[in-house]
Structure 1
Amino acid sequence: MTILRLRGFEIHKGRLDAAAQQEIFAAVRAVVRKAPLFRPDTPYGRKMSVQMSAAGRYGWFSDRNGYRYVNEHPSGGAWPEIPPSVLKVWDQLTGLARQPECCLINYYGPEARMGLHQDKDEADFDFPVVSISLGDDGLLRIGNASRGGRTESLWLQSGDVVLMGGAARLTYHGIDRIRPGSSTLLPKGGRLNLTLRVVE
């Protein structure tokens, strides 16, 4: 395993071996059976290209009223619990007693992407965000503390884990594209990104 540092992002390349990836993927599939993937609307009325679900006390949601955390799936049911195999990654990387209250699940199909954004809907930015990549490669772009300026990019592969904390906690970042067919983990292809967040 190699640890890279880019603009404060701590990128653990190959952190999860094949068995760990399979275990987490199976757990995510169980979550999605209870809380199916959906495509939120942006506040501007356009559908996001990424499909989402969540586990934990809260899920992240977006519509014409803005971005926010909610305690129910759009169908009205509570979000499933965060799987132990996912929490294990949080515990090992952060060493924190505090547990995340949300595991946001993003599924990227062949044409999906995520524009540059900050994770700033949480109450306390002192806690890091932990990001787990599964499936096809995704091109991560990292910007700055404010919009604009030079950016840097690198490919994330299945099993990579990123820790975003400290000064990097509010750095703009996004996924420009995925590389279809670069992984066989997901039977139908695509990329899963799990982000663990302390919300309250």
Structure 2
Amino acid sequence: MTLDLFAATDPYQPIAPGAMLLHGFALADADAILADVQAIAARAPFRRMFTPGGQAMSVAMSNCGSLGWISDRHGYRYVAADPDSGQPWPPLPPRLLRLAGAAAERAGFPAFVPDACLINRYAPGTRMSLHQDRDEQDFTQPIVSVSLGLSVTFLFGGLARSDKAARLTLSHGDVLVWGGPARLRFHGVLPLLDGRHPATGACRINLTFRKAG
């Protein structure tokens, strides 16, 4: 089932207990956010990480904040320094902190202050398989996900991998927040379709804010 939220009267749509899609919430700041992403990537370039099994991930990744998420043969985890440079990850820009906090509050999670932002760059054909975000210390804190550039079909499943997943269209400027009873729901992204967006070209940029430490 694909949820068509573009025609909804209220652009802020609950999609499950603890989960809300904020259509267009980041649109006004999109250009400035992309400039922040460009500055972050200049210090911590996008790279394709490896799974513990040694397979290269299709999505290119970077991080900002006091902690950054990495994957390698030793597993999935958060670390304070970029393993490629040995330097601390770039700090979270104030604009991004404000956006994440405001989106979380609008979805019912006040006082959210993330310490990690994983930045994913999707090229056409790349995808993210169903997974849970379980590497954080405190599951009472929500996940805030910002979509920029090409639209994508997001899969929002249940608490078991086998549960049927709803399909959500995430477009430029949309923000998805999930926490509380939805915090450990499986989620993923179908392969990105070919296309070009005026703001990002032939890619999608996704910023995922977490309280990791």
Structure-2 separation of matches of 1:130 and 1:183: 22
State the partner residue of 1:85. 95
Contact 1:35/1:80 (8 A) holds in 2: yes
1:149-160 equivalences in 2 (<5 Å): 149-160=163-174
State the partner residue of 1:132. 146
Q: Provide the secondary structure at the position in 2 that maps to 1:69.
A: strand
Match 2:208 to one of 172, 190, 195: 195
* 2:130 matches 1:121: no
Shift of 1:85: 1.6
Shift of 1:98: 4.7
The letter of the residue matching 1:25 is L
Identity %: 40
Q: Provide the secondary structure at the position in 2 that maps to 1:177.
A: coil
Shift of 1:181: 2.0
State the partner residue of 2:4. none
Which ranges of 4 or more aligned residues in structure 1 deviate by more than 4 Å?
none
Contact 1:137/1:182 (8 A) holds in 2: no
1:21-36 equivalences in 2 (<5 Å): 21-36=30-45
Contact 2:68/2:117 (8 A) holds in 1: yes
Q: Provide the secondary structure at the position in 1 that maps to 2:56.
A: coil
CA deviation string 1:121-143 (max 9, x = no partner): 00110000100000101110111
Structure-2 separation of matches of 1:63 and 1:134: 27
Shift of 1:182: 5.2
* 2:111 matches 1:101: no
Structure-1 separation of matches of 2:21 and 2:196: 19
Structure-1 separation of matches of 2:205 and 2:135: 21
Structure-2 separation of matches of 1:166 and 1:98: 13
- The root-mean-square deviation of aligned C-alpha atoms, in Å, is 1.4
Shift of 1:180: 2.9
Shift of 1:46: 0.4
The unaligned stretches of length 5 or more in structure 1 are: none
What is the count of residue pairs matched by the alignment? 198
Contact 2:132/2:186 (8 A) holds in 1: yes
Contact 1:144/1:171 (8 A) holds in 2: yes
CA deviation string 1:18-72 (max 9, x = no partner): x410010001100000000111101111000000000000110011111100111
The unaligned stretches of length 5 or more in structure 2 are: 1-9
State the partner residue of 2:69. 60
Structure-2 separation of matches of 1:65 and 1:137: 33
In the superposition, the TM-score normalised over structure 1's length comes to: 0.94
Contact 2:101/2:112 (8 A) holds in 1: no
